[in-house]
Amino acid sequence: MNTVDWIVLFGTLGTIVLYGVMKTRGAGNMEAYLLGSKSLPWWTVCLSIMATQASAITFLSTTGQGYEDGMRFLQFYFGLPLAMIILSVTAVPLYHKLKVFTAYEYLETRFDLKTRSLAAFYFLMLRGVSVGITIYAPSLILSTILGWNINWTTVLIGSLVMIYVVSGGTKAVSVTQKYQLTIIMTGMVLTGLIAFWKLPGSVSFTDAFRFAGETGKLNLINLSFNLEDRYNIWSGLIGGLFLFLSYFGADQSQVGRYLSGSSITESRLGLIFNGILKIPMQFIILYIGLMIFVFYQFYQPPLIHNVSLREKVVMAGAEAKVKELEAQYDGIFLERRTAAEGLMQAIQGKDAAAIQTQKESLKQAQQKENELRNDMKELVQKELPGQNPMDKDYVFIHFVMSYLPHGLIGLLLAVVFSAAMSSMASELNALASTTTVDIYRRSMRPGLSDAHYVTASRWMTIGWCVFAIVFASLANQAENLIQFVNIVGSLWYGTILGIFLSAFYLKYLRSNAVFWGAIFAELIILYLYFFTKVAFLLYNIIGCVAVIVLATVFQFIGDKKKRPAV
Amino acid sequence: MSGDQETEKPPVFRTWAGWYWTVLLIMVVQLIIYCWITFSY
């Protein structure tokens, strides 16, 4: 990092915050503050939806996923376009027609107050925890890379977001996200191009593509039906459909985005273009990880991508052991590079027999290297108990810091900060909207002026932001936090989706049946969590089905009781 | 007279069904391309 990088980084972030504040000042009523006066065109809605979904960890982790595991993660998104169509047909016209501020408001129209409050409560539990991780995860990586204190990093990100979200509400979230996503994609594509340009001169784009294919990284489609395999086309289409219906149809952080569209048409087009663009965007991000993988076939990567851990192990007194491992690593890398060069030549010469031979050599060298990396990780665990030695999320950012020219390093750090800020902004806005509209205005202080509720929303935003920062600083003490947050998410998402699917599609279900169905479904999920070993990703589908089945049973029993005896 | 005239069909993007079919078509084309990449490279 030099002065140019710092100027680019803080110049970009400062401009975004200033733009957000200046462009959206003076939102005086609820519709202006929580729905952006319903004035946004479809492209802003679309970019805002995409920026909300893509958090900083998406960019850091997905490129690492492409680097280590190839392209198969793409299948996770295959259900998304289908979900966009279903929601465009059903949810969008309904929410617009009822002029709701939040998705949960609709539940009172369809069922009653208690079902609305229950769904809002489930959402606040789910999103309240995850906003903490949205800020914690990138702060951990950025503070490690920049050598900053993690608590001050979370305070910096949180404060920047708070300034424009408190000031301009939903509109500020959406208009800044438009530019944040533009910066993010520009930075990402530039990084991919630089990784490619830095390859040896004789390697063309097609050669790099074929090389990735021969090393098994272009594993985009897996047709086998296997419940234990997280990424195959079936889990992507079916599981992904459920997940994205839930996320885009019942999660206020997304519903709030398309409710700010100026008409049903603008909201629908926003969702439709998200359905068209999302998979290619993920393809590009994964492919950048793949380009970094090809690059590191010819240039030596560090033994552990989170290089700060190396320094800490040395400081802990294991310098001799680290140097011994690195000396071995130098030798193994030369062996691997020779095999990689041989494979590339065989690909360029279209020599099938040589390709097979060189692939085998490369595989063996790769295996040796992996063993050595595992030795290094074990050393980290031994010398630094409590430190996570997994370094997949550091692959991309380490590449950026080591190989990008100055100026671009600053831009790429702005990319990571922007991604963290854009997701956090939507989440804070959604938490504030739901707390104000569904809890405070509906059940605690009804009938007050619009100005009062706008002020309340601003305070709720500040409150949730402080909560996120405090959660992130406490999270620092916890182990395996991302796993924990995923579990917490899965504990509530299925039940929320079940309530909404009942409301949208099962007209025979009434409020009491759905309310009690949702309560008992949540108890089932909590039982599964505490007393069984059922994989937590399945909670989404189990919770959803349990709400519908239980509500149907309760409805049937209720109807039978009401029927007069003959 | 109007019975003799052929009814003008709306362009695909003027109807929502047209948009939805377009999304599905793009999805199917992508799947075909991804299958081709997976099994050819």
Q: Is residue A128 part of a domain?
A: yes
Q: Domain boundary at A362, A387, A412, which?
A: A387
Per-residue pLDDT of A189-228, as tens digits, reads 999 899 889 888 888 889 999 999 999 899 888 888 776 6
| Shared-domain flag, residues A235 and A286 | yes
ipTM: 0.80
Rounded to 5 degrees, φ, ψ at A476 are: -55, -30
- Treating both helix axes as pointing N-terminal to C-terminal, what angle do A113-146 and A150-197 enclose, rounded to 10 degrees? 70
Confidence of residue A81 (pLDDT cuts 50, 70, 90): very high
Count of H helices and E strands in chain A? 23, 0
Chain A, nearest residue to B14 by Cα: A265
Query: DSSP assignment of A494-513, as one string?
Result: HHHHHHHHHHHH-TT--HHH
CB contact under 8 A, A89 and B20: yes
Q: What is the C-alpha separation between A231 and A79, in angstroms, rounded? A: 12
Confidence of residue B14 (pLDDT cuts 50, 70, 90): confident
Question: Which residues contact residue A204 at a Cβ distance below 8 angstroms, ignoring those fewer than 6 apart?
Answer: none
CB contact under 8 A, B27 and A279: yes
User: Above 80 in pLDDT, residue A479?
Assistant: no
> Which pLDDT score is estimated for A459?
94
User: In chain B, what residues touch A85 (CB-CB under 8 Å)?
Assistant: 20, 23-24
Q: What is the C-alpha separation between A522 and A122, in angstroms, rounded? A: 10
Tokens of A564: 């007069």
Rg from Cα positions in chain A: 25
Report the gap between the CA of A336 and the closest CA in chain B (Å). Answer: 21
Query: Which of A227-241, A372-386, A466-480, A513-527 has the highest average model confidence (pLDDT)?
Result: A513-527
Per-residue pLDDT of A401-435, as tens digits, reads 999 999 999 999 988 888 888 888 889 989 999 99
Decide if B19 touches A, using CB distance below 8 A.
yes
Confidence of residue A481 (pLDDT cuts 50, 70, 90): low
User: Above 70 in pLDDT, residue A485?
Assistant: no
- Average pLDDT over chain A reads 88
Closest partner residue to A272 (CB to CB) among B19, B30, B39 is B19
pLDDT mean over A284-297 = 93
Q: Which of A428, A450, A429, A446 is nearest to A438 (CA)?
A: A446
> Which pLDDT score is estimated for B2?
43
Q: Is residue A164 part of a domain?
A: yes
Count of H helices and E strands in chain B? 1, 0
Q: Is residue A516 part of a domain?
A: no
| Shared-domain flag, residues A141 and A251 | yes
CB contact under 8 A, A268 and B19: yes
CB contact under 8 A, B26 and A272: no
Distances (CA, A) of A489 to A305, A433, A483, A536, A539: 29, 19, 10, 9, 9
pLDDT mean over A279-284 = 93
| Shared-domain flag, residues A250 and A367 | no
* Cα within 13 Å of Cα(A317), Cβ side: 2
Tokens of A518: 């949702």
Q: Where are the alpha helices (DSSP H) in A434-510?
A: 450-475, 481-505
| Shared-domain flag, residues A252 and A375 | no
| Number of domains present in the structure of chain A | 2
CB contact under 8 A, B23 and A220: no
**Whole-number percent of chain A with pLDDT over 90:** 43
Question: Which residues contact residue A241 at a Cβ distance below 8 angstroms, ignoring those fewer than 6 apart?
Answer: A79, A82, A83
| Shared-domain flag, residues A177 and A245 | yes
Report the gap between the CA of B1 and the closest CA in chain A (Å). Answer: 35
| Shared-domain flag, residues A151 and A227 | yes
* Cα within 13 Å of Cα(A147), Cβ side: 5
CATH of residue A265's domain is: 1.20.1730.10
Q: What is the C-alpha separation between A429 and A437, in angstroms, rounded? A: 12
The per-residue b/e assignment along A211-232, b for 16 or more CB within 10 angstroms, e otherwise, is: bbbbbebbbbbbeeeeeeeebb
Q: Domain boundary at A387, A413, A445, which?
A: A387
| Shared-domain flag, residues A176 and A275 | yes
| Shared-domain flag, residues A357 and A406 | no
| Shared-domain flag, residues A114 and A257 | yes
| Shared-domain flag, residues A431 and A329 | no
Q: Which of A331, A332, A336 is nearest to A215 (CA)?
A: A336
| Shared-domain flag, residues A358 and A242 | no
Q: What is the C-alpha separation between A523 and A519, in angstroms, rounded? A: 6
Domain that holds residue A43: 35-296+401-474
Confidence of residue B1 (pLDDT cuts 50, 70, 90): very low
Q: Is residue A259 part of a domain?
A: yes
- Treating both helix axes as pointing N-terminal to C-terminal, what angle do A42-53 and A150-197 enclose, rounded to 10 degrees? 110
Q: What is the C-alpha separation between A106 and A269, in angstroms, rounded? A: 22
Q: Is residue A420 part of a domain?
A: yes
CB contact under 8 A, A218 and B31: no
| Shared-domain flag, residues A222 and A176 | yes
Q: What is the C-alpha separation between A66 and A393, in angstroms, rounded? A: 11
Per-residue pLDDT of A314-352, as tens digits, reads 988 888 899 999 999 999 999 999 999 999 999 998 888
